[in-house]
Amino acid sequence: MRGSLGKRLVIWGLVWVSLVTLSLPTLIVIGASFTAGEIIRFPPEGFSLRWYGELWQLDSFRAALARTFQVSLICTAVSLPVGTLAAIATVRYRIRFRNAVQVYLLLPFTIPLVVSGLSMMILFGEIRILGQLWPVGVALCIINLPFMIWSVAASVNAIDPEIENAAMNCGAPPLQTFLTVTLPAVMPGVITGGLLMFILAFNEFLVSLFLTDSRTVTLPVQIYNSIRSVITPDLAAVSVLYIAIALIAVVLLDRLVGLEIFLRSK
């Protein structure tokens, strides 16, 4: 009994230490963002939404936020079909060069982001698309695609390979089988991967730094630029914005996939 009490103390101790260390920075930033004072500090001086207001007044911030949304949407939109089809093809079908294709698709993950950023900057410069926004979205899709593929592949692995035969046995030609049975069955992975891609693109800094200029600067790069000048509490407000977006993604994930995942348990 005493042994079990000691074990419980240790386990709960570890749980609390982890919870606190994981959430403390977030809580501090949230607190700091509501300060009424001129500098970032914790505990905050007073309570106000002053810095949120100031942030919203900043045209450069609003424009960067809009661009970041745009880039993230492009990245997600490209990754959905590409990642889904690639995952289904490489996991499910005995296609030729399957292993090679798998390795090739996961390659971006193994290359340092600095290298990816630099090489894409050179390439985009050569083909004269540097300075536009959509190539940034495509670039972020390329570097993060392995996450999408992994997410969908997990779903593909979880489905019974016979359900496609079952659909054909029910009279569904191959395209109908794909649309009405295969795709819905891997939907949890597609949704998870899509949200992941959106969040990753929304946060991406290093490659974006290479690919953006003053006209196309995205929010993470914008934040980086402002840190280099003066650190004001509006940065804390931006951080809270990021936390809010991540939370929304988690809630969406739970709503859309949390239920779906239970579907596949037998």
Partner 1 sequence: MDTGSSKRMVEIAGVSKLFGTVAAVSDATLHVDRGDFLTVVGPSGCGKTTLLRMIAGFEHPDAGEIRIGGRRVDAVPPYRRSIGMVFQKLALFPHMTAAENVAYPLKMRRFAPAKIPGLVDEYLGLVRLGDFKDRRPHELSGGQQQRVAIARALVFSPDLLLLDEPLSALDRKLREDMQLEFRRIQQELGVTTINVTHDQREALVMSDRIVVMEGGVIQQADDPVSLYRQPGTPFVARFIGVTSMFPGRVTKETGEAVTVAAGEATLTARGGGAVLGAGAAVECAIRAEQIAIGPRDGAPRFENAVDGIVRQRIFEGERMVYAVEVPGLGGAVLNVFDHDPVSHSVYDETQPVRLEWAARDLIAFPAGPAPAVTTENKPTGSLTT
Chain positions contacting partner 1, by CB under 8 A: 159-160, 162-163, 165-173, 176-177, 180-181, 184-185, 187, 260, 262-266
**Least distance from C-beta 189 to partner 1, angstroms?**
13
**Least distance from C-beta 92 to partner 1, angstroms?**
15
**Least distance from C-beta 17 to partner 1, angstroms?**
37
| HSE-up of residue 108 (Cα within 13 Å, Cβ side) | 18
If the CB atoms of residues 162 and 213 are measured against partner 1, the closer one turns out to be 162
**Least distance from C-beta 66 to partner 1, angstroms?**
36
| Radius of gyration from C-alpha coordinates of the chain | 23
If the CB atoms of residues 138 and 158 are measured against partner 1, the closer one turns out to be 158
If the CB atoms of residues 66 and 263 are measured against partner 1, the closer one turns out to be 263
Q: Cβ distance 140 to 201 under 8 Å?
A: yes
CA distance 91 to 35: 51
User: What residues contact residue 193 under an 8 Å CB cut-off, 6+ apart?
Assistant: 79, 80, 83, 84, 147, 148, 149, 150, 151, 152
Tokens of 2: 């005493």
Q: Cβ distance 101 to 90 under 8 Å?
A: yes
**Least distance from C-beta 167 to partner 1, angstroms?**
7
CA 147 to chain centre: 9
If the CB atoms of residues 105 and 181 are measured against partner 1, the closer one turns out to be 181
If the CB atoms of residues 6 and 184 are measured against partner 1, the closer one turns out to be 184
Cis bond upstream, residue 161 (ω within 30):
no
The count of other CB atoms within 10 Å of the CB of residue 97 is 10
If the CB atoms of residues 176 and 214 are measured against partner 1, the closer one turns out to be 176
**Least distance from C-beta 216 to partner 1, angstroms?**
40
If the CB atoms of residues 153 and 223 are measured against partner 1, the closer one turns out to be 153
| Cα-based distances in Å from 112 to 77, 101, 115, 146, 242 | 24, 20, 5, 14, 24
CA distance 75 to 136: 8
**Least distance from C-beta 172 to partner 1, angstroms?**
4
